């Protein structure tokens, strides 16, 4: 034989590694994007056991946004009066 047994085993291992690596390099594209998944998880959580807490957080965020908008409007009015 021209090849020794050790070199054949190494060649077989390299071939198997090449096949394995080519199969592992493929990455499937996600079926939904992260924002959609987060929104869906939020909707599920609002209807699950922690629904009251999730809804309370949503109301607090809405209240914060409303207060920030009102404060900014008042600052704009004060700036307009000072000119």
Maximal CA-CA distance, the chain: 99
Residue 55: CB atoms within 10 Å: 13
DSSP state of 28: P
Mean pLDDT of 59-63: 95
| Spatial distance between the Cα atoms of 29 and 82, rounded to a whole number of angstroms | 56
Structure tokens that stand for 59 in this block: 């109301």
Q: What are the domain boundaries of the chain?
A: 5-82
Q: Is the pLDDT of residue 63 over 60?
A: yes
Token match 């009015």: residue?
77
pLDDT one-digit tens code per residue, 4-58: 556 667 777 777 776 666 655 566 766 778 999 999 988 888 888 888 898 899 9
């Amino acid at each position: 034989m021209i090849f020794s047994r050790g070199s054949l085993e190494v060649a077989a291992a390299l071939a198997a590694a090449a096949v394995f690596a080519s199969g592992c390099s493929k990455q499937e594209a996600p079926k939904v994007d992260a924002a959609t998944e987060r929104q869906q998880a939020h909707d599920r959580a609002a209807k699950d056991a922690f629904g009251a807490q999730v809804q309370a957080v949503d109301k607090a965020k809405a209240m914060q946004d409303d207060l920030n908008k009102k404060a900014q409007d008042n600052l704009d009015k004060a700036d307009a009066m000072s000119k």
